[in-house]
Amino acid sequence: MATERTLSIIKPDATRRNLTGKINARFEEAGLRIVAQKRVRLTKEQAQQFYSVHAERSFFGELVDFMISGPVVVQVLEGEGAVARNREIMGATNPANAAPGTIRADFAESVEANSVHGSDSAENAAIEIAYFFAGCEIAG
């Protein structure tokens, strides 16, 4: 499997509970490397654009309000099959369905406040990474 990069976001429910280090330990223990990282507050426009694929869904407005309710940590993870590996470590969207030992099973508060985002394909990873980082901000 090839070395890949994927976009990860530690969401406001997790930064509020000071879980950044515990969550990132999961990625590092699984062999993923954090090659770019910043803690930011998303603007409403950024959150709307980032989740624009969900614009027609009933939960969109609440999701945007949640994503701007506190700081997030946006980061690039690098490693063998990083996109799929990250999704495995995160667990299912709804923590009630997430496998034991996954980040969402262990830390998520709800289907909305589910602690982490991870790109769902290599194509989206490239788009999402370029949305948050300039090439010179990524040090592999």
| Binding annotation for ATP | 11, 59, 87, 93, 104, 114
131 touches ligand UDP (CB under 6 A): no
96-133 burial, b if ≥16 CB within 10 A, otherwise e?
eebeeebbbbbbbeeebbbbbbbbeeeeebeebbeebb
Question: Among 12-20, 32-40, 78-86, 114-122, which window interacts with ligand UDP (CB under 6 A)?
Answer: 114-122
CB contact at 8 A, 103 and 46: no
CB-wise, 49 or 137, nearer to ligand UDP? 49
Query: What φ, ψ does residue 33 adopt, rounded to 5°?
Result: -110, 135
| Site mask for ligand UDP (CB under 6 A), range 50-69, x = bound | ---------x---x------
Which residue number, 63 or 72, has a Cβ lying nearer to ligand UDP?
63
> Which residues are annotated as catalytic?
117
